[in-house]
């Protein structure tokens, strides 16, 4: 499988940063995983786009030759231009940096790094691995939606995608103006303007079922001034579970409900009347109306034992659906 664009650009950065001298286009093509299988024309287009993207990210690529007698143009990244200026950390900040540094040993790109360096050595170039101290990925993203959403954020392009909320049976189509992508509690989220709801919303990338697909030209919108993505992420995060329900759930059904549940006991008078094949579980929830709607979607797979308010909400929803079907 060909590397993703983000991996290919990282491989190119590693290659140009580790090279002790200017590398020709042919050397780069041989060393960087992601270029080898391309035709000559495709390689030229891809290499030019990748260089432009690195420069847009603030990475300075030097162009030159290794001697006055060498007419072949080569490329490299100067460590001095690439590195950040000296930074001083508090004891707490230093501890966090140390933990991030340890993650480098298990980083997703470690294999690609070693492959790029091996190819440089095979080409007769003594790669300077100390130069790679300036480069260390700390976060990986495995969701397929990450890269197209990142491109949509950069280009201000509206997108649509299928999105399945927790507990929903079918995904719903969402049309969004992407403002940014944030990592929160180890998960990736898109923050943007939901056109149907006419308000900012946060979407968990792992719940995107298909797409994202561009539905506008680049530059279709502007992110409002003063937007703080971190503050929005905190504000849009679902409220913590503050209520407790006791449910009877049919065995081996409703896995999303079971994930956050604990075994519970029903009152003796109720337990005797429960049908066989049901487990009694305690589940936390935040919003009664929202949770009732999700439970109603399970139909006969779940029975609400308590609280009474939640039970009545679910019953009302089921009666409403039954009435509409008549």
Strands (E) in 135-237, as ranges, are 159-163, 172-184, 187-194, 199-204, 208-214
* Residue 230 shares a structural domain with residue 311: no
Identify the weakest region by mean pLDDT among 197-211, 216-230, 283-297, 306-320: 283-297
* pLDDT tens-digit readout, 161-203: 999 876 556 788 999 999 988 877 667 889 999 998 899 999 9
Q: For residues 45-54, give the mean pLDDT.
A: 89
Domain boundary among 199, 220, 236: 236
CATH number for 57 = 1.10.10
Domain count, the chain: 4
Q: For residues 266-270, give the mean pLDDT.
A: 76
CATH number for 164 = 2.30.30
Residue 175: its pLDDT value, please? Answer: 96
Give the integer Cα–Cα distance in Å for 125 and 4: 26
State the residue for tokens 């847009």: 56
* Residue 251 shares a structural domain with residue 298: yes
Give CA separation, 201 vs 152, 234, 266, 287, in Å.
Answer: 16, 11, 38, 17
Assigned domain for 86 exists: no
* Residue 36 shares a structural domain with residue 111: no
Give the integer Cα–Cα distance in Å for 219 and 153: 10
Assigned domain for 124 exists: yes
Residue pair 13/116 in contact by the 8 Å Cβ criterion: no
| Number of Cβ within a 10 Å radius of residue 176 | 25
Q: Is 213 helix (H, G, I), strand (E, B) or coil?
A: strand
Assigned domain for 139 exists: no
pTM over 0.75: no
Residue pair 283/257 in contact by the 8 Å Cβ criterion: yes
Domain boundary among 236, 255, 283: 236
- Buried b / exposed e across 196-230, counting CB within 10 Å, b at 16+? eeeebbbbbbebbeebbebbbeeeeeebeeeeebe
State the residue for tokens 């100390």: 130
pLDDT band at 102, cuts 50/70/90? very low
**More confident position, 174 or 109:** 174
Structural domain range at position 268: 243-323
Give the integer Cα–Cα distance in Å for 189 and 183: 6
pLDDT band at 121, cuts 50/70/90? low
* Residue 71 shares a structural domain with residue 104: no
């Amino acid at each position: 499988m060909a590397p993703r664009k983000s991996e290919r650009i990282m491989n190119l950065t590693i290659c140009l940063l580790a090279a002790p001298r200017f590398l020709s286009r042919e050397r780069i093509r041989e060393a960087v995983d992601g270029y080898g299988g391309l035709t000559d024309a495709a390689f030229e287009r891809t290499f030019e786009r990748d260089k432009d993207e690195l420069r847009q990210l603030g990475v300075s690529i030097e162009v030159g030759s290794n001697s006055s007698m060498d007419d072949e143009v080569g490329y490299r990244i100067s460590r001095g231009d690439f590195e950040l200026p000296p930074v001083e950390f508090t004891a707490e900040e230093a501890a966090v940096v140390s933990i991030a540094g340890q993650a480098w040993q298990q980083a997703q790109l470690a294999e690609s790094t070693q492959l790029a360096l091996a190819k440089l050595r095979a080409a007769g170039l003594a790669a300077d691995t100390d130069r790679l101290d300036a480069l260390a990925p700390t976060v990986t993203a495995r969701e397929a939606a990450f890269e197209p959403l990142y491109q949509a954020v950069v280009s201000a392009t509206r997108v649509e995608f299928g999105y399945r909320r927790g507990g929903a049976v079918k995904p719903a189509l969402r049309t969004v103006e992407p403002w940014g992508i944030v990592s929160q509690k180890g998960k990736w989220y898109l923050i943007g303007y939901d056109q149907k709801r006419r308000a900012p919303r946060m979407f968990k990338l792992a719940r995107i079922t298909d797409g994202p697909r561009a539905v506008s030209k680049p530059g279709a919108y502007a992110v409002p001034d003063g937007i703080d993505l971190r503050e929005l992420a905190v504000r849009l995060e679902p409220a913590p579970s503050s209520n407790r329900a006791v449910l009877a759930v049919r065995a081996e059904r409703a896995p999303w409900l079971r994930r956050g549940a604990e075994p519970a006991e029903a009152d003796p008078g109720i337990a005797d009347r429960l049908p066989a094949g049901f487990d009694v579980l305690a589940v936390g929830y935040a919003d009664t109306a929202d949770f009732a709607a999700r439970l109603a979607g399970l139909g006969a797979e779940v029975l609400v034992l308590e609280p009474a308010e939640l039970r009545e909400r679910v019953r009302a929803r089921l009666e409403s659906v039954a009435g509409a079907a008549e």
